[in-house]
Chain A
Amino acid sequence: MKELTIISGKGGTGKTTVTAAFADLADNKIMTDCDVDAADLHLLLNPEPVSEQPFIGGREPRLTVDKCTGCGTCEELCRFDAIHVTDTGVAAIDRFSCDHCGLCALACPEGAIAMADAENGTWFISRTRCGSMVHACLGIAEDNSGKLVTLVRREARKLAELEGADLIINDGPPGIGCPVTASITGADLVLLVVEPTVSGIHDMERVHGLCRHFRIPVLAAVNKYTVNLVNTQKIRGYCEEYHIPLVGEIPFAAVVNRALVARRSVVDYDCGPVTQVVRDMWEEVARRLEDMPVAAGL
């Protein structure tokens, strides 16, 4: 079994557009949405959940107000400025600043703070027209998105074993931080979707740096390449310099937005040349995945 993750650095370059098309084209695979704090793939794949479970991301401090004497030990020790003795004479936890490290609970001389399991979201196994999908929804203003990504991928691997799937396709999050790291570590192959803008190139270089850091093989595709041919040429040059196979150049077409508004993928809805390029791109990615040795211990 192999695992492909689609990322971009910059947001809005077309990760989910490409992923949804691959979902329509690939055989015998499991789909995941690893962009757990703004998941969108389900909008195109219409999953029907067959299982829904809470995500316990870690523990969080809970204060028993009756026991608090307002001594301020917690406030003094907290490095995240997340607990303060208020006018009422007792401590209050600012959950939006709290890092959940538990120091306040350890230090409270009155035992007024205890660590308890925190439910940070929900994860699902669903059926879609393109097969099974594992996805999740981080709770509002909740923490631990990296751990939720790790859980989604772990469950997807279990499901792939069970169903005898040969491939997992992960729709990744933007950025280069903890959810992105959690989306790519241990993957066989990463596809970078880049737009030919100064921001797109800047962020592609950063996320490519992250892939190199973790020694993960990378492919690239340019989305909306016709928006700026000079920048597209720069991306080609970058890919050549770093020996990154460029597997597709998708032209800009207003019809893509119409497909998205109709909640269809660009291969399910006729987007003219875009549809053809994305189909060819998938053939190329599939061929390269097939040629890769199966990694041990995944």
Chain B
Amino acid sequence: MNIAIASGKGGTGKTTVATNLVLSIDHAQYIDCDVEAPNGNLFLHADISARDTVGIPLPVIDRERCTCCGACAEACEFNALAVLKTKVMVFPELCHGCGVCLYVCPEDAVSETLKEVGVVEQGFLTRADGQVVRMVQGELKIGEPLSPPIIKQAKRLADPDRAVILDAPPGTSCPVITTIKDADYCLLVTEPTPFGLHDLRLAVGVVRVLGLSFGVVINRADSGDCEVLDYCAAEGIPVLLELPFSDELAAAYSRGVPLVVDQPAYREVFQRLYERIVAEVLS
């Protein structure tokens, strides 16, 4: 089972739902795909046992062979190469590592090196009940623009024998799609405000285009209006869980203490949430 937790709007509680799920269900693993701002392990505190860099291919131009014909720059869709009178310049921050320049060069003057764009880390934590939870997180290197290569690598490291909980980044564009596109189920976390509703509609548009089954969690459910609930009812979207707002919960979150650790009674709430997701997937 592969469950993605996404939202559209940031700060609605994706990481709260994802971390509390892995702390509540059996044979769980958490994969932090919000590689621009990975926060899950601030709550899980897994011991990191492996750390690998993620790189993308970057062209290297052999100046002996290069005739400055311009074929590479013309073919590059990302303007990552510029042809000067006597040499070709590569702009690493624009390069996607697609290999077009290498393919089109008539002089065989392009080779590739690996440019580091981030890291993925793996580790384990032991829960209070003795169960071991696996944790994988990606982290984009500061200044690098492209997160999808790191998200893909983090997902590749998923252990297929465990339930996979994918913590998605906010928004609706490529990093989100890379994270959720092949999930069995997508949980959209929102809040009952005009912002929450507006961005939920956008997120629903994305999961529908991707053809995913999905449901909604409303966080701080008692702190706004009822328009999110009305929208879900009108659209026939299941609302699987409503979490209340409380000063204690906000304070525990601010310290990095997971809800189910601060208030163990919530474990059952997240176990039931998981059962409902499983039932939705099977139906």
User: A residues bordering B, Cβ < 8 Å?
Assistant: 9-13, 16, 35, 37-38, 40, 43, 58-59, 77, 79-80, 96-97, 99-103, 106-107, 115, 138, 140-143, 145-146, 173-181, 195-200, 202-203, 206-207, 209-210, 213-214, 227-228, 230-231, 252, 254, 257, 260-261, 263
Assess whether B142 is interfacial by the CB under 8 Å rule.
yes
Query: Quick check: A175 and B36 within 8 Å, CB to CB?
Result: yes
Instruction: Point out the residues of chain B lying under 8 angstroms from A102, CB to CB.
Output: 75, 77, 98, 100
Query: Quick check: B98 and A101 within 8 Å, CB to CB?
Result: yes
Knowing A43-B194, A228-B254, the reply to whether A101 touches B172 (Cβ < 8 A) is: no
Query: Quick check: B10 and A141 within 8 Å, CB to CB?
Result: no
Interface-facing stretch out of B61-69, B81-89, B125-133, B202-210: B202-210
Complex: A140 Cα to B204 Cα, angstroms: 10
Assess whether B169 is interfacial by the CB under 8 Å rule.
yes
Assess whether B47 is interfacial by the CB under 8 Å rule.
no
B237-276: which have CB < 8 Å to A? 250-251, 253-256
Knowing A12-B11, A59-B77, A254-B223, the reply to whether A103 touches B140 (Cβ < 8 A) is: no
What's the nearest-Cβ distance from chain B to residue A130, in Å? 18
Query: Quick check: B142 and A210 within 8 Å, CB to CB?
Result: yes
User: B residues bordering A, Cβ < 8 Å?
Assistant: 8-12, 15, 34, 36-37, 39, 42-43, 57, 75, 77-78, 96-100, 103-104, 140, 142-147, 169-177, 181, 193-195, 198-199, 202, 205-206, 209-210, 223-225, 250-251, 253-256
Complex: A206 Cα to B210 Cα, angstroms: 31
> What are 14 of the A-B contact pairs (CB < 8 Å)?
A12-B11, A38-B170, A40-B194, A40-B195, A101-B96, A103-B99, A146-B145, A174-B10, A174-B171, A177-B146, A178-B146, A195-B11, A228-B251, A260-B224
Complex: A263 Cα to B143 Cα, angstroms: 35
Instruction: Point out the residues of chain B lying under 8 angstroms from A35, CB to CB.
Output: 171
Query: Quick check: B254 and A138 within 8 Å, CB to CB?
Result: no
Complex: A254 Cα to B195 Cα, angstroms: 16
Complex: A261 Cα to B75 Cα, angstroms: 49
Instruction: Point out the residues of chain B lying under 8 angstroms from A214, CB to CB.
Output: 143
Instruction: Point out the residues of chain B lying under 8 angstroms from A174, CB to CB.
Output: 10-11, 36-37, 169-171
Query: Quick check: B11 and A11 within 8 Å, CB to CB?
Result: yes
The chain B residue sitting closest to A59, CB to CB, is B77
The chain A residue sitting closest to B146, CB to CB, is A178
What's the nearest-Cβ distance from chain B to residue A17, in Å? 9
With A103-B103, A198-B39, A257-B193 already in contact, 13 other A-B pairs whose C-beta atoms are closer than 8 Å: A96-B177, A96-B210, A102-B98, A106-B75, A115-B77, A138-B172, A140-B209, A176-B37, A181-B143, A206-B142, A210-B142, A231-B255, A254-B223
Query: Quick check: A261 and B193 within 8 Å, CB to CB?
Result: yes
Query: Quick check: B199 and A177 within 8 Å, CB to CB?
Result: no
Query: Quick check: A38 and B206 within 8 Å, CB to CB?
Result: no
The chain B residue sitting closest to A209, CB to CB, is B142
Complex: A263 Cα to B253 Cα, angstroms: 27
Query: Quick check: B210 and A202 within 8 Å, CB to CB?
Result: no
What's the nearest-Cβ distance from chain A to residue B72, in Å? 11
Query: Quick check: A12 and B171 within 8 Å, CB to CB?
Result: no
Instruction: Point out the residues of chain B lying under 8 angstroms from A37, CB to CB.
Output: 171-173, 176, 202
Query: Which residue, A13, A107, A141, A173, has most C-beta atoms of chain B within 10 A?
Result: A141
Instruction: Point out the residues of chain B lying under 8 angstroms from A96, CB to CB.
Output: 177, 181, 210
Query: Quick check: A38 and B103 within 8 Å, CB to CB?
Result: no
Instruction: Point out the residues of chain A lying under 8 angstroms from B250, CB to CB.
Output: 227, 252
Query: Quick check: A77 and B251 within 8 Å, CB to CB?
Result: no
